[in-house]
Amino acid sequence: MASFPAERAMVHFPFKNWLRLLQHLLCLGLLLAACGVAQAQSLLALYHAARPLDAAVLAARAEVDAAQARTGQARAGLLPQLRLQADATRTWTESGGLSLPGLPGQPDLPGLPSLPSMSGSSSFNSRSVTLAGVQPIYRPVEKIAWDQSREATQTAEIALDAAEQDLMVRVAQAYFDVLAAQNALESVQALKQAIERQWQLAQRNFDIGNATITDSREAQARLDAAIAQEIAAQNDLHVKQLALQEVVGQVNAVPLPLAEPVQLPRLEPETVQQWLALAQADNAQIRQQAVALHLAELDTRKARAGHLPTVDLQMSASSTHYGGNSSRTPALGGGKNASIGVQVTLPLFSGLSTQYRIRETLAAQDKARANLDGSRRDVTQAVQAAFFGVQSGMAQVAALEAALASARSALQANQRGYEVGVRINIDVLNAQSEVYDAENNLARARYDVLLGLLQLQQAAGTLSEPDLAQVNALLDLPRMAD
């Protein structure tokens, strides 16, 4: 078997290019070694690994907790309010002597009686304890605020569900991107090997005089192009693996390939109208806008409740004790008292603020209704595009399977024709390229269909973990035990 001509290779690949190629091959070897050490993981396993680490999901879950806490705060306005107050006071009083006409040390005036001298000091202690409580009986504003807080919690829960669905799609996209990059690298490597064999065959035929130098040079040109494609495919695989690692939060995440033969799932429901009906009921965007409209309506009700009275049940109980120390004033005692009553407050005039607040909430209500209508149109378009994309992808997969079978048959025919002299070398090289292009396109189309199914379910709002498990069942799962 003829050896690869070093002189011809050096003409096309200078020393720097060969050094760069060696560096790429070394990186690929390290990458493949890491993949060999790491255990391959399924799509569902990587999703479970990414879920507790994803920033969007964690933020949405924290918002749910905050919304639930705000609901408790809003409910507090309808629950009893108790207040305990304790006071302790000490008071000192000091009075000096008072001199009047007729008092000692002053000249007496005729006709005025003499008055006694008035002086002394006193101190007093007072202690009181008061327990007061209010039980709201009728507070329409607080009741509507509580309803709004519960609706806001529902909005946060919908956002959390949407974040988890988005994570499923992102993990699946990164997962299939890595598989597609692996298939592309394997295809170009197989193509390079086939071209090398064809070059060796053309060189042998040239050496024995059965072919011209043109066949050998054509094979050499294709081999150079295949080497360049291999380097690009290696880099693309490395980038796709980094993207997968970033999504799942794991280093050396290795996806499992699809099991052979590949059986794509059916599109169920089968009509776009059924998918649209599901989307109108379950799509996260539509549900959030519907809740926003309801919140705007509640806000209008709360603004109108500014004209309504409030009724509270008020209760209080107190105990007071007085103590004194005075030579002139006897010690005082204390007392206990309790009260219960109903307080009614009716707003009469607030400077027209309530009327303007109602006008504001009505405008916000119209805005929320317009947003809901716009979301429904956007979701309808997205569902239709996703549905027809999946339909087209499935038809493309079937066509590519037939094209691959035809390309393989054409390659075999061209190889036999070249051996007997009825085909030239370029015919075989073209047939080889068509086979590997068809294989690569078919693999990419299958991944696009699987991802499109998940995106369609996400657009309809029905995507859940069982749907992801259905796609996960198409993988070569037995390899997980290797």
Residue 188 belongs to domain with CATH number: 1.20.1600.10
pLDDT for res 41: 87
Would you call 319 helix, strand, or coil by DSSP? strand
Q: Which residue has the higher pLDDT, 160 or 329?
A: 160
State the average pLDDT for the chain.
83
Q: Do 317 and 388 belong to one domain?
A: no
Q: Do 61 and 131 belong to one domain?
A: no
Would you call 357 helix, strand, or coil by DSSP? helix
**Residue 87 — φ and ψ, nearest 5°?**
-130, 145
pLDDT confidence band for 30 (50 / 70 / 90): very low
Q: What percent of the chain has pLDDT over 70?
A: 83
pLDDT for res 178: 95
pLDDT beyond 90 at 260: no
Q: Do 401 and 467 belong to one domain?
A: yes
pLDDT for res 26: 46
Residue 277 lies in a domain: yes
Q: Do 134 and 148 belong to one domain?
A: no
Are the C-beta atoms of 455 and 386 separated by less than 8 Å? Answer: yes
Can you tell me the mean pLDDT for 139-146? 92
Q: pLDDT (tens digit, 9 = 90+) per residue, 383-438?
A: 999 999 999 999 999 999 999 999 999 989 988 887 777 777 788 888 888 989 99
pLDDT confidence band for 1 (50 / 70 / 90): very low
Count of domains forming the chain: 2
Q: Let me know how long the chain is.
A: 482
Q: Do 259 and 279 belong to one domain?
A: yes
Q: Do 128 and 242 belong to one domain?
A: no
Q: Which residue has the higher pLDDT, 111 or 65?
A: 65
Last residue of a domain, one of 346, 371, 404: 346
pLDDT for res 179: 95
pLDDT confidence band for 211 (50 / 70 / 90): low
Whole-structure pTM value:
0.77
Residue 96 lies in a domain: no
Q: Do 261 and 338 belong to one domain?
A: no
List the helix and strand counts (H, then E) for the chain: 11, 4
Q: Do 266 and 359 belong to one domain?
A: yes
Q: Do 24 and 44 belong to one domain?
A: yes
Last residue of a domain, one of 346, 367, 399: 346
Residue 401 lies in a domain: yes
pLDDT beyond 80 at 6: no
Kindly give, in sequence order, each residue whose CB lies less than 8 Å from that of residue 99, ignoring residues fewer than 6 positions away: 105, 106, 117
pLDDT for res 120: 61
Are the C-beta atoms of 263 and 450 separated by less than 8 Å? Answer: no
d(C-alpha 28, C-alpha 23), whole Å: 9
Q: Do 342 and 357 belong to one domain?
A: no
Nearest alpha carbon to residue 321 among 131, 125, 130: 125
Are the C-beta atoms of 298 and 151 separated by less than 8 Å? Answer: yes
Residue 220 lies in a domain: yes
Q: Do 255 and 318 belong to one domain?
A: no
Q: Which residue has the higher pLDDT, 186 or 27?
A: 186
pLDDT confidence band for 216 (50 / 70 / 90): confident
Can you tell me the mean pLDDT for 92-109? 55
d(C-alpha 171, C-alpha 44), whole Å: 9
Nearest alpha carbon to residue 444 among 184, 180, 230, 237: 180
Residue 336 lies in a domain: yes
pLDDT beyond 60 at 99: no
> Which residue in this structure is represented by tokens 């996703």?
386
Residue 125 structural domain: 80-91+121-138+309-346
pLDDT beyond 80 at 235: yes
Residue 111 lies in a domain: no
Can you tell me the mean pLDDT for 160-176? 95
Residue 99 lies in a domain: no
Residue 101 lies in a domain: no
pLDDT confidence band for 328 (50 / 70 / 90): very low
Q: How far apart are the first and last CA of the chain?
A: 38
pLDDT for res 350: 84
Q: Sheet containing 120-138: give its strands across.
A: 81-95, 120-138, 310-326, 334-345
CATH number at residue 326: 2.20.200
With both helix axes pointing from N to C terminus, report the angle between 465-472 and 425-460 in degrees, rounded to the nearest 10: 160
Can you tell me the mean pLDDT for 129-147? 92
Last residue of a domain, one of 317, 346, 375: 346
Are the C-beta atoms of 228 and 13 separated by less than 8 Å? Answer: no
Structure tokens at 125: 């202690």
Q: Do 134 and 146 belong to one domain?
A: no
pLDDT confidence band for 476 (50 / 70 / 90): confident
Structure tokens at 469: 């498990």
pLDDT for res 35: 42
